[in-house]
Structure 1
């Protein structure tokens, strides 16, 4: 995998992909599986772009706006070359970091504590990385594509369960939920020792209270998502992961319960029949009406007459026509469909159906969350592409595109190297001004807050959970719904004894993340019995979404969207599939790789040897055949039936170099994973 500034890359590829966002990563894996050669570049030193996840020091670099320096000498282009920006526009604004001062005396105990420290006056100097870690940090960027990949791979398409605890003990039937359908499983109940002791660090007069000062030595144990999302258990992303076998590179935690903020308190949303009839929040009449409507939604396509006249009408209007009270409408629109009252009815019915059908697949949880953060999904598809021969190079990007007869014919890299290609995939935000495609795009502003606390949100069960805050819950100024994702230490996104809370909502250019989200943070956290805030970060992200297929660019140029403000991946998978069908018409989108046991290794015949043609046996050759004698003991031989299954699943298109690359990739990942989790996780053998 190339990563040095002056590495010379091959001079020709079928497709060049600029940027390692999730949609680009899915496309690169799908295209290379279709038999085309792929070069995947990224100007950053990490994978994911806006879809990325960072450890704390990596987040610090991102906050500081660290970018790869532009070439020392300006690149010169021919008249038929479209020059692209050498530096990417900074989408981050209104960035505010807050470290509360917890210098007050701890609760009275029999044993005084000396571990409570005062936060430094200067946050920036307080959080600067140590000098001795510089080498380690720079090397982590080149290996970041392998973070979070499970060292225990399955032969079946599996969404593995969460990592076992530090003692290596396995989950029992009491705390594990699993299913044999498609071999997927989710360990939604298992908790690590770190998780069990998390909420108790500042409860019941504990002599030791956490502070952000004490967390600095555990910076590797945090993983911060720029745009957090969850997967429907029966959504398009889960189906794609299992179909493509990318699920073996990732692990997931079940998002066990969904809550909503109502009148200042957090209450559980009744999703299943059992939850509904055990809930005290709704009356018996409301329960029956809600259950009847949810039963209709699970099979609404068989009753088109019931919703046809409301297809384009607001969902709220359709719900009212069914005689549902306002409380039930809020439940369904904001916490089950999660599209809001004003969304088109047909869109809302589809979202409700996906939610309902996701229940019960991995226990009672409708959602899954990737262990180590959402950045692991893009890296899983990148790894699949690399295994099948894709070439990756970070800190390098497409600086120009040569156009011949209104069709892209080559690209010029940021190093000045010219690479022939017939197709280029890039992010719309990087080329919108150069290619004049603004009429096909829609701008969105997202308000984000990351909050580290020493305990879970009051009213939740202390595990991975989702909290929805409907519009107007915080007053007339709250015009957008707010989503809150709570991550405990078992998600490998927060340090032992802490919780990471992600706050997300849409916003406007005239507002700021702190204005949008601080009121709900105070309502949820700053109450009696609530956790203490150890650290928080507010910022806005400007995102660029493709609203309709772009046809104004030169032929062969395909643009992708940034993440949207929804909580799921349905739109990303749909867009990736549409672009793939344009690039590779008639090809299957990320087909299931063959089982290594079913691969037949044919013996190459020498056309100059007449005896070889006379004696060729069209049936699979036994390993004791003389033609295999020299290669059977060679682990790198193409004819060795015992070679790496990942390299062998390439349907005869891959050489031993691909197998070596895959093995080296696994070795680098295992080292990275062990370094990252040395404080909290013991990986499986």
Structure 2
């Protein structure tokens, strides 16, 4: 008896949609298509769900980072199921997403006992606002039935001395905060009241159908609603106009509005926040506080890690008939010789699968320009060779034996620009998750760090500055006396068991030849079908932008 084939044969061979890669975006689109009654085939080279949004054990994470830090191509097909003379083959390969990977283990014996008990996020830190539209998407689509969240207990702003200051994000938190003076509390309360008054006036104007023009209460409305001129000016200028001190401005800009770049330096700020956008972010934050009874703060995080999000949508699509096949590389695209239009994909098994639409993992690219047999074919898929690089993000993961705050398990720390050293032009975020969220053994903690950067040198410097302020590395402790002096001035820093640092490329790959695929998502939208595609992309962007860090968009190809 012969050996079984290395890859299973897939039946049927024709689908409405093929999705390659089980990242968050691909899973959302596949779930929307399946729920709309379309036939969907979902493929992934990896033996797990999530692609670049996965939560992995320590060995799996290390292997994935190293294997995706060098260019590689899917296994070439060994045979062809059928001879199709009308089609041409465009070979595919993948571009590296990660670089400058550094893995360090300081207590191998301790780690060895728990290697498989970790669920480490590839794209951390990533949290969700309770009132985020992505949460509404999960509720409307039914994906919320397959994932459970817990609250992030507290948020802090850090400084170079290792001190963590509470983020006063509500009236109760402002009154309880002992680090604020009475004047600062009054200033912050007045500002939050002004923002709430503006939001109430905007909602009232919208519900009355007059867009805030002439409702008989112009004088009263003018006292609460922020002027159009102020809404268009930079948010940092408006905060200064309101005479808020630098400390309060920093908390609002970077810990509540989640700005990435130094808003005070127009020369280096790549994303200057306008007042209208800043007010929208404050509204999202405030409406998130208290939305769910089991979430005390504004932020929540999924139990078992961020990898549960794409899996939730995968389960939703499976219920509706989507076929999932893991460990199945796609080696090439099938194209019509005459028109150069997409017709299907060729798998590593040699089988050809056809579909009307295709969603590709953004890391795919053409194997080489010469891979296309004609200029027409190469032109049709030239977008696969070009990606809109949006910069880089430096990511760090540390496993520790103690919490950053003894009385708090799950917390977010933000280091505003220039809070650690003068050349720091971007915010640094650190998210600590404990064992009660099933991402690590009880008694241990996982700390995710991230910062936008232009290159690896700058990124590593940002991460190391935050890590040195928060943590103790065994090889950096020279004597007991140095540790004693440190503990006298600040709380004792947690000791690092294991750490991983890497640089991740951020890029946008978006090519839509036909809006029909996006209209399949109308079942999860409250909008009319004609607007569903824009609404879906808005939801995807919100999911990617959480904590201000974008990985990539999905690539859509259709005939």
**C-alpha displacement at 1:420, in angstroms?**
2.2
String of CA shifts for 1:214-241, please: whole Å, max 9, x gaps. 2312222211101121111111121122
Shift in CA distance, 468/555, structure 1 to aligned 2, threshold 3 Å = closer
String of CA shifts for 1:591-641, please: whole Å, max 9, x gaps. xxxxxxxxxxxxxxxxxxxxxxxxxxxxxxxxxxxxxxxxxxxxxxxxxxx
Q: Is the counterpart of residue 401 in structure 1 residue 339 in structure 2?
A: no
String of CA shifts for 1:61-120, please: whole Å, max 9, x gaps. 2134178961264889968546142x32221111111223xxxxxxxxxxxxxxxxxxxx
**C-alpha displacement at 1:510, in angstroms?**
5.0
Quote the residue 1:366 is aligned against. Answer: 298
Quote the residue 1:447 is aligned against. Answer: 394
User: Residues 401 and 410 of structure 1 are in contact (CA less than 8 Å); yes or no, is this contact kept in structure 2?
Assistant: yes
Shift in CA distance, 6/355, structure 1 to aligned 2, threshold 3 Å = same
- Quote the Cα distance in structure 2 between the aligned partners of 1:464 and 1:12: 46
String of CA shifts for 1:647-679, please: whole Å, max 9, x gaps. xxxxxxxxxxxxxxxxxxxxxxxxxxxxxxxxx
Shift in CA distance, 62/262, structure 1 to aligned 2, threshold 3 Å = same
Q: Is the counterpart of residue 489 in structure 1 residue 435 in structure 2?
A: yes
Corresponding residue SS for 2:30: helix
Specify which of 43, 46, 52 is matched with residue 50 of structure 1: 52
- Quote the Cα distance in structure 1 between the aligned partners of 2:186 and 2:36: 50
Q: Is the counterpart of residue 96 in structure 1 residue 102 in structure 2?
A: yes
- Quote the Cα distance in structure 1 between the aligned partners of 2:154 and 2:54: 25
Corresponding residue SS for 2:157: strand
User: Residues 32 and 388 of structure 1 are in contact (CA less than 8 Å); yes or no, is this contact kept in structure 2?
Assistant: yes
**C-alpha displacement at 1:311, in angstroms?**
3.9
User: Residues 28 and 40 of structure 1 are in contact (CA less than 8 Å); yes or no, is this contact kept in structure 2?
Assistant: yes
- Quote the Cα distance in structure 2 between the aligned partners of 1:41 and 1:64: 22
Quote the residue 2:90 is aligned against. Answer: 83
Quote the residue 2:446 is aligned against. Answer: 500
Shift in CA distance, 319/72, structure 1 to aligned 2, threshold 3 Å = same
User: Residues 470 and 494 of structure 2 are in contact (CA less than 8 Å); yes or no, is this contact kept in structure 1?
Assistant: no
Quote the residue 2:496 is aligned against. Answer: 533
Q: How many residues align?
A: 462
Quote the residue 1:294 is aligned against. Answer: 192
User: Residues 333 and 342 of structure 2 are in contact (CA less than 8 Å); yes or no, is this contact kept in structure 1?
Assistant: no
- Quote the Cα distance in structure 2 between the aligned partners of 1:563 and 1:214: 38
Shift in CA distance, 537/442, structure 1 to aligned 2, threshold 3 Å = same
Shift in CA distance, 408/436, structure 1 to aligned 2, threshold 3 Å = closer
User: Residues 230 and 568 of structure 1 are in contact (CA less than 8 Å); yes or no, is this contact kept in structure 2?
Assistant: yes
- Quote the Cα distance in structure 2 between the aligned partners of 1:445 and 1:89: 15
Quote the residue 1:474 is aligned against. Answer: 420
Quote the residue 1:384 is aligned against. Answer: 316
Specify which of 309, 333, 356 is matched with residue 422 of structure 1: 356
Specify which of 71, 75, 84 is matched with residue 76 of structure 2: 71
User: Residues 233 and 366 of structure 1 are in contact (CA less than 8 Å); yes or no, is this contact kept in structure 2?
Assistant: yes
Q: Is the counterpart of residue 347 in structure 1 residue 269 in structure 2?
A: no
Shift in CA distance, 29/4, structure 1 to aligned 2, threshold 3 Å = farther
Corresponding residue SS for 1:474: coil
Specify which of 17, 21, 26 is matched with residue 24 of structure 1: 26
Corresponding residue SS for 1:14: strand
- Give the TM-score, by structure 2 length: 0.75
Corresponding residue SS for 1:330: helix
**C-alpha displacement at 1:443, in angstroms?**
2.8
- Quote the Cα distance in structure 1 between the aligned partners of 2:165 and 2:515: 52
Quote the residue 1:676 is aligned against. Answer: none
Quote the residue 2:236 is aligned against. Answer: 316
Structure whose alpha-carbon radius of gyration is higher: 1
Alignment of 1:203-602 (within 5 A): 211-228=107-124, 229-264=126-161, 265-298=163-196, 300-301=198-199, 302-303=201-202, 306-340=226-260, 341=263, 342-362=272-292, 363-398=295-330, 399-403=332-336, 405=339, 407-431=341-365, 435-437=381-383, 441-457=388-404, 459=405, 461-509=407-455, 511=457, 513-526=459-472, 527-528=486-487, 529-546=492-509, 550-551=511-512, 566-568=545-547
User: Residues 545 and 562 of structure 1 are in contact (CA less than 8 Å); yes or no, is this contact kept in structure 2?
Assistant: no
Shift in CA distance, 413/504, structure 1 to aligned 2, threshold 3 Å = same
User: Residues 237 and 569 of structure 1 are in contact (CA less than 8 Å); yes or no, is this contact kept in structure 2?
Assistant: no
Bigger drift between 518-527 and 57-66 goes to: 57-66
- Quote the Cα distance in structure 1 between the aligned partners of 2:73 and 2:47: 8
Corresponding residue SS for 2:364: helix
Specify which of 28, 34, 37 is matched with residue 36 of structure 2: 34
Shift in CA distance, 501/37, structure 1 to aligned 2, threshold 3 Å = same
Per residue, is there more helix in 1 or in 2? 2
**C-alpha displacement at 1:213, in angstroms?**
1.1
- Quote the Cα distance in structure 2 between the aligned partners of 1:538 and 1:34: 41
**C-alpha displacement at 1:27, in angstroms?**
0.8
CA RMSD of aligned residues (A): 3.3
**C-alpha displacement at 1:570, in angstroms?**
11
- Quote the Cα distance in structure 2 between the aligned partners of 1:439 and 1:297: 42
User: Residues 56 and 224 of structure 1 are in contact (CA less than 8 Å); yes or no, is this contact kept in structure 2?
Assistant: yes
String of CA shifts for 1:445-488, please: whole Å, max 9, x gaps. 1101111111011x463311111110111112321101100011
User: Residues 68 and 395 of structure 1 are in contact (CA less than 8 Å); yes or no, is this contact kept in structure 2?
Assistant: no
- Quote the Cα distance in structure 2 between the aligned partners of 1:562 and 1:356: 21
**C-alpha displacement at 1:321, in angstroms?**
2.0
Shift in CA distance, 400/407, structure 1 to aligned 2, threshold 3 Å = closer
User: Residues 266 and 460 of structure 1 are in contact (CA less than 8 Å); yes or no, is this contact kept in structure 2?
Assistant: no
User: Residues 249 and 380 of structure 1 are in contact (CA less than 8 Å); yes or no, is this contact kept in structure 2?
Assistant: yes
5+ long unaligned stretches in structure 2: 203-211, 213-224, 264-271, 370-377, 473-485, 519-532
5+ long unaligned stretches in structure 1: 101-210, 584-685
Quote the residue 1:651 is aligned against. Answer: none
- Quote the Cα distance in structure 2 between the aligned partners of 1:489 and 1:292: 39
- Quote the Cα distance in structure 1 between the aligned partners of 2:551 and 2:197: 25
User: Residues 544 and 562 of structure 1 are in contact (CA less than 8 Å); yes or no, is this contact kept in structure 2?
Assistant: no
**C-alpha displacement at 1:282, in angstroms?**
2.0
